């Protein structure tokens, strides 16, 4: 970049600097014409370009653009390369529509299936979400258009999203809610990061120095600018101090004045302001290196949207009825067959270039079959028995019934959370009534998050999850139903049996201004694994029109160092009669850990296409972080020596084979023992054990004597028999008490106060560091 940004900053007035850090309009930065600083235009995404003609308006009808499938469908493709290709197309449209930065992708975790905006987010798993985000960011930014990964951080619900405080412990934040952002920043360097509306542990995300500066910029090395979500800033000066570079939307004259006054009064160091100015200018000039204008290939992008939709659809149930063949009369039921439901409500709502109508796409592929249509359910939440009766009449005389069921916007949208997992009462009654008269009933779902199915799934022959499938989704559905495309999508989130089973259920949606993330690390499949709980459909699940066998699992080393990582390989064979794609998933299970860990965690995956009878070896790389966990006391990622199981599966509950390996940790941890450390913690620390070990047997003997125990116990405080005294193994209690407390019980036998003795032990340990 040839522009001398530091020279420009030196020439800018204080007022110009403050104005640059606030938007000039709803969608643009503030230009500084006398210094040659242009404006930069941003637009809503993330699955299409929502470019409004007038940048001074927020919600006017946007210019036509391709509406690609939403994130829940994208994630179900598990195809990073395909999502990168979509990113290329989005960038082409952004360039044609004069957009410098596309606001997306969204990588917040799906903490609960009730989240109203879940359709815009990828997954319940941070590794999968991060990998997909990297692909989309790379695809967009490779064409010279920027991205804005969002919403940083812990924005996992719509209820009170402008004010609620997400109360989440540091380890959970680091292992669940931050890794997707971290992966995207370190691997793809998005041009911008968008902060969320909510508070995190009592501090607004827009004013959170720990998140915006210490972690994002200093620890992860983020080079771009931090932008607020629209209207997320409460205190502009506090936000600047925290690392929030650019406030949106604008203009905000009062905010500009507040920044100027804060610098002049000494409240705000001008160097802090200059750093935000530098970051903004760097992105503004980077954006202007890409000439804007021209057009994009509407047809090609529509076909790409169709391909992505087909790859993301998940076949949930199939008793053999699909793909459709030889049926002479098909009853098509459900208003979403005529009025496609392919996107969600809110800021991501795209004005599509065209829309594939599902019913028409079925007609185009049905050859000589007769297709009839019945509306089935109304647009609102009222109950219409007449519509059900009409549908039943058509289904009864048909060879097969196709039910198109879309979760309506009044139940699922940005801005409000879902109250339940249910379809409408009309839709459930419709499915049940049709299935009673037509055993060959197929349900096609259009929704952005899991729905409850227990009331009807056993009575239907097949269920196809079509998601919010994008503008070409109607054609993709027909491709899958008639076998022109073999379904290969797999779930990126668990479908629970019922709402009460979900991890966050008793902590949702919060009250008194706070929502407690009481489930901690255990969201999604991590929770269901820990509870040994049955689910409707597990994470990573999806059927195909063919079958796959796994064999010959192997690792590149049986013993390895964490920093070296390893490669796990498995042979996959298409054992069916048609070509298909399988998604191989690798989960890591740590047999013994110093801290509680999920039973297994996804750490790698690959999608492989196979012809009938073909076998291919699939290799997946695992690195240091594949085996590490965040230790809140050491405040770093750590590994531990020990045995690891590499679980290779077709879903989180369908593990086909595994490989056992031994990990050698290279992490050297400082001693963090203190006056409150327990005997167990002392003995678990190498330095502590060396210092305390000599005294341990003496402490144990004296303790047992004190409590009237006469038998000998093992050197780790475990009984060799039934003690006398007070009828319990005293050392089982004492081992988890602070050493200072244990010694206080023996004060009469000590030569110095217990506190002084422990202080002396700590000094010995510190000299060993």
Catalytic residues: 229
**DSSP type of residue 62:** P
Structure tokens given for 409: 């916007």
| Collapsed DSSP state (helix, strand, coil) of residue 590 | strand
Burial of 24 (C-beta count, 10 Å sphere; 0-12/13-18/19+): buried
Sign of torsion, CA 201 204 206 209? Answer: negative
Structure tokens given for 179: 């890794």
Structure tokens given for 24: 């000039």
Query: For every residue of 285-331, which 3-state class applies, written as one string?
Result: HHHCCCCCCCCCCHHHHHHHHHHHHHHHCEEEEECCCCCCCCCCEEE
| Collapsed DSSP state (helix, strand, coil) of residue 730 | helix
Q: How many C-beta atoms surround the C-beta of residue 769 within 10 A?
A: 7
Q: In angstroms, rounded to a whole number, what is the distance separating the alpha carbons of residues 205 and 198?
A: 6
Q: How many C-beta atoms surround the C-beta of residue 573 within 10 A?
A: 17
Query: For every residue of 21-58, which 3-state class applies, written as one string?
Result: CECCCCCECCCEHHHCECCCEEEECCCCCECCCCCCCC
Q: In angstroms, rounded to a whole number, what is the distance separating the alpha carbons of residues 82 and 308?
A: 7
Structure tokens given for 731: 């050392």
623 contacts: CB under 8 Å, gap ≥ 6: 565
**Cα-to-chain-centroid distance, residue 764:** 45
Q: In angstroms, rounded to a whole number, what is the distance separating the alpha carbons of residues 274 and 261?
A: 15
β-partners of residue 419 are none
Closest among 451, 336, 329, 340 to 393, alpha carbons compared: 329
CA distances from 308 to 89, 226, 352 (A): 12, 30, 16
CB 111 within 8 A of CB 504: yes
Q: In angstroms, rounded to a whole number, what is the distance separating the alpha carbons of residues 729 and 723?
A: 7
Sheet holding 199-200, edge to edge: 203-204, 199-200, 165-167, 514-516
| Collapsed DSSP state (helix, strand, coil) of residue 148 | strand
Structure tokens given for 259: 């920044």
β-partners of residue 465 are 314, 445
Q: In angstroms, rounded to a whole number, what is the distance separating the alpha carbons of residues 351 and 64?
A: 5
112 contacts: CB under 8 Å, gap ≥ 6: 156, 157, 502, 503, 504, 505, 508
The terminus-to-terminus CA distance of the chain in angstroms comes to: 46
CB 581 within 8 A of CB 608: yes
H-type alpha helices, 545-606: none
């Amino acid at each position: 970049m040839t522009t001398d940004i530091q020279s420009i900053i030196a020439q800018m007035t204080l007022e110009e600097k403050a104005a640059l850090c606030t938007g000039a309009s709803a969608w643009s930065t503030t230009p500084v014409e006398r210094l040659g600083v242009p404006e930069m235009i941003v637009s809503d995404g993330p699955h299409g370009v929502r470019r409004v003609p007038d940048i001074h308006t927020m919600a006017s009808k946007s210019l036509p653009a391709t509406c690609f499938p939403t994130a829940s469908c994208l994630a179900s493709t598990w195809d990073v390369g395909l999502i990168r290709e979509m990113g290329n197309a989005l960038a082409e449209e952004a360039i044609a529509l004069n957009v410098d930065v596309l606001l997306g992708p969204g990588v917040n975790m799906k903490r609960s299936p009730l989240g109203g905006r879940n359709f815009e987010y990828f997954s319940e798993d941070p590794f999968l979400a991060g990998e997909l985000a990297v692909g989309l960011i790379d695809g967009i930014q490779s064409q010279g258009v920027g991205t804005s990964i969002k919403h940083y951080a812990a924005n996992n619900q719509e209820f009170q999203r402008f004010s609620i405080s997400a109360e989440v412990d540091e380890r959970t934040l680091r292992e669940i809610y931050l890794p997707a952002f971290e992966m995207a920043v370190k691997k793809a360097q998005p041009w911008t990061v968008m902060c969320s509306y909510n508070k995190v542990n009592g501090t607004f995300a827009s004013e959170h120095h720990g998140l915006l500066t210490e972690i994002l910029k200093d620890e992860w090395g983020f080079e771009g600018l931090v932008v607020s979500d629209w209207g997320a800033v409460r205190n502009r000066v506090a936000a600047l101090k925290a690392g929030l570079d650019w406030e949106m939307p604008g203009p905000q004259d009062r905010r500009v004045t507040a920044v100027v006054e804060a610098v002049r009064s000494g409240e705000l160091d001008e160097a802090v302001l200059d750093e935000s100015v530098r970051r903004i200018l760097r992105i503004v000039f980077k954006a202007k290196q890409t000439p804007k204008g021209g057009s994009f290939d509407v047809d090609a992008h529509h076909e790409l949207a169709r391909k992505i939709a087909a790859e993301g659809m998940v076949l949930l149930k199939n008793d053999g009825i699909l793909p459709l063949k030889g049926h002479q009369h098909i009853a098509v039921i459900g208003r979403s067959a005529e009025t496609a439901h392919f996107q969600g409500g809110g800021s991501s709502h795209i004005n599509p270039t065209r829309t594939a109508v599902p019913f028409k796409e079925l007609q185009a592929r049905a050859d000589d079959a007769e297709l009839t249509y019945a509306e089935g359910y109304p647009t609102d939440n009222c109950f219409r028995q007449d519509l059900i009766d009409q549908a039943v009449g058509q289904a009864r005389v048909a060879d097969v019934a196709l039910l198109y069921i879309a979760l309506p916007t009044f139940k699922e949208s940005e801005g409000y959370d879902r109250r339940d997992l249910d379809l409408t009462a009309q839709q459930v009654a419709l499915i049940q009534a049709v299935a009673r008269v037509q055993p060959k009933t197929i349900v096609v779902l259009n929704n952005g998050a899991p729905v409850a199915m227990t009331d009807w799934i056993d009575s239907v022959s097949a269920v196809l999850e079509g998601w919010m499938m994008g503008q070409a989704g109607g054609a993709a559905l027909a491709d899958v139903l008639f076998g022109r495309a073999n379904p290969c999508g797999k779930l990126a989130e668990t479908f629970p049996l019922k709402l009460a089973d979900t991890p966050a259920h008793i902590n949702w949606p919060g009250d008194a201004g706070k929502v407690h993330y009481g489930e901690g690390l255990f969201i999604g499949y991590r929770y269901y694994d820990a509870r040994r709980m049955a689910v409707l459909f597990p994470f990573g699940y999806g059927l195909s029109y063919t079958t796959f066998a796994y064999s010959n699992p192997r690792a590149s080393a049986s013993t390895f160092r964490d920093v070296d990582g390893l490669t796990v390989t498995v042979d996959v064979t298409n054992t069916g009669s048609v070509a298909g794609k399988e998604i191989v998933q690798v989960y890591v299970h740590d047999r013994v850990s110093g801290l509680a860990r999920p039973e297994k965690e996804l750490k790698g995956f690959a999608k492989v296409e196979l012809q009938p009878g073909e076998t291919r070896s699939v290799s997946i790389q695992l690195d240091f972080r594949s085996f590490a966990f965040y230790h809140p006391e050491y405040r770093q990622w750590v590994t531990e020596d020990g045995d690891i199981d590499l679980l290779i599966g077709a879903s989180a509950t369908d593990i086909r084979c595994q490989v056992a390996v031994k990990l050698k940790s290279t992490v050297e941890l400082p001693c963090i023992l203190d006056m409150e450390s327990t005997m167990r913690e002392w003995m678990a620390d190498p330095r502590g054990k060396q210092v305390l070990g000599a005294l341990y047997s003496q402490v144990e003997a004296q303790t047992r004597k004190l409590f009237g125990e006469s038998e000998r116990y093992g050197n780790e405080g475990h009984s060799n028999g039934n003690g006398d005294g007070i009828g319990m193994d005293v050392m089982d209690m004492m081992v988890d008490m602070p050493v200072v407390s244990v010694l206080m019980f023996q004060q009469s036998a000590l030569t110095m106060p217990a506190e002084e003795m422990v202080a002396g032990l700590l000094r010995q340990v510190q000299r060993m560091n």
